[in-house]
Amino acid sequence: MVYQVIGLMSGSSLDGLDICYAQYEETRGKWTAQIWASECIPYSTAWLQDLRMASQKSVPDFLKLHTAYGRYLGECVQAFIAQHELQHKVHFVASHGHTVFHEPQSCTTFQLGDGAAIAAVSGLPVISDLRNMDIALGGQGAPIVPIGDRLLFQDYNVLINIGGIANMTVRNATGKYIAFDVTIANQALNYLTQQLGKDYDENGTIAASGKLLANELLLLANVEYHQAAPPKSLSNEQAINLVRSFIENEQYAISDKLHTLCHFIALQIAASLQSVSIGETIVGKKAIATGGGAFNSFLMELIAVQLNLLGIELTIPDAQIIAYKEALVMGLIGTLRWREEVNVLADVTGAQRDSIGGAFWMGA
């Protein structure tokens, strides 16, 4: 079976809306995917403000924002289809939305962007609310990407995503997938770089010019979350709170804070791998890095060094996979929902059972 799907993803780094049009094909249980068109639409200043402050709005204003953002996503889909001449070539849309509240302990998560509004504006069937079923079953609701790691990226045993939050998927010798949020990443790096008037630290040049703050590095590593075993996940607010006192400490140069944070992220990835018995359970020892952080050459060099110490070879894929892997996987998750097949793994999230997540909204 062949499916042509648009996947939508808005990550915690708020660098824009990722749109990915891909073809997914299943043949005797084996899946392949090919990206045919992709784009990142930067958020306007107004949207950035609304998304950053969403959780602080009154209930009426929050609900209006949920609808307005859904309609905005629908408009983006329409424009994307027109730009790439995809009329009558899209079976449905799978939308992750933008996470504004995530509290697994209360079985609650919320991704902004009303699926019904997307369907109404775009005229296409829409699958949204991809995490909710897992959360309702007592899971972390995150990460949900590992189903894509299992079906589309089988050549790799360690899959690292460096977005606003760094997360990873590890496949052990029995074929079981372990996945979890590691720590904060681009949220903190971009926050610091923006104080210098830049959106992000291109190639990690500013970070590379700094020096290591060894005592602060040790304090960051000892934060309670970093010591906890998976399954575990972070909300955007929880992630920034892991390092808030450090990044807001004005006694250090920004370049030194960036340098230290890059070392910290690399060390935490290595420590997390060791905590899931990397030496005993990894088969093949091949890793891939994606997400915006994979464009940070300095950070990737540090991660590669740490992985080499564990006998793991790091691969940096082509730019399209780096930038749009999560949107690609959202399309796959939507496709599995369309087929009424498991698309969230309980082994990863800690839920009562595997689940079929996603609300369905019929378009025109």
Q: What is the CATH classification number for the domain harbouring 197?
A: 3.30.420.40
- Amino acid, res. 16: G
User: Within this chain, do residues 238 and 265 fall inside the same structural domain, yes or no?
Assistant: yes
For the chain, the C-alpha Rg in angstroms (whole number) is: 20
The answer to whether residue 150 sits within a structural domain is no
User: Within this chain, do residues 14 and 100 fall inside the same structural domain, yes or no?
Assistant: yes
User: Within this chain, do residues 28 and 175 fall inside the same structural domain, yes or no?
Assistant: no
Residue whose C-alpha is closest to residue 11's, from 164, 139, 161, 130: 164
User: Within this chain, do residues 226 and 305 fall inside the same structural domain, yes or no?
Assistant: yes
Alpha carbon distance 195, 8 (integer Å): 29
* pLDDT tens-digit series, residues 24-64: 999 999 999 999 999 999 999 999 999 999 999 999 999 99
Phi and psi based region of residue 114 (left: phi greater than 0; alpha: psi -120 to 50; beta: remaining): beta
Average pLDDT in the chain: 94
Give residue 219's domain range: 155-321
User: Within this chain, do residues 339 and 262 fall inside the same structural domain, yes or no?
Assistant: no
User: Within this chain, do residues 255 and 304 fall inside the same structural domain, yes or no?
Assistant: yes
- Where residue 279 falls among pLDDT bands split at 50, 70, 90? very low
The answer to whether residue 160 sits within a structural domain is yes
Positions of E strands within the chain: 2-10, 17-27, 30-41, 92-103, 108-112, 126-128, 158-162, 165-171, 177-184, 286-290, 313-315, 359-361
User: Within this chain, do residues 304 and 333 fall inside the same structural domain, yes or no?
Assistant: no
Residues 279 and 231: beta-carbon distance below 8 Å: no
User: Within this chain, do residues 197 and 302 fall inside the same structural domain, yes or no?
Assistant: yes
In the chain, the number of structural domains is: 2
pLDDT at 223: 93
User: Within this chain, do residues 220 and 347 fall inside the same structural domain, yes or no?
Assistant: no
Largest CA distance in the chain: 60
User: Within this chain, do residues 263 and 301 fall inside the same structural domain, yes or no?
Assistant: yes
Query: pTM of the predicted model, to two decimals?
Result: 0.91
User: Within this chain, do residues 22 and 123 fall inside the same structural domain, yes or no?
Assistant: yes
User: Within this chain, do residues 49 and 165 fall inside the same structural domain, yes or no?
Assistant: no
* pLDDT tens-digit series, residues 319-364: 999 999 999 999 999 999 999 999 999 989 999 999 999 999 998 8
* pLDDT tens-digit series, residues 235-278: 888 999 999 999 999 999 999 999 999 999 999 999 998 888 65
Residues 8 and 22: beta-carbon distance below 8 Å: no
Count of beta carbons in the 10 Å neighbourhood of residue 173: 11
The answer to whether residue 77 sits within a structural domain is yes
The phi, psi pair for 356, rounded to 5°, reads -110, 100
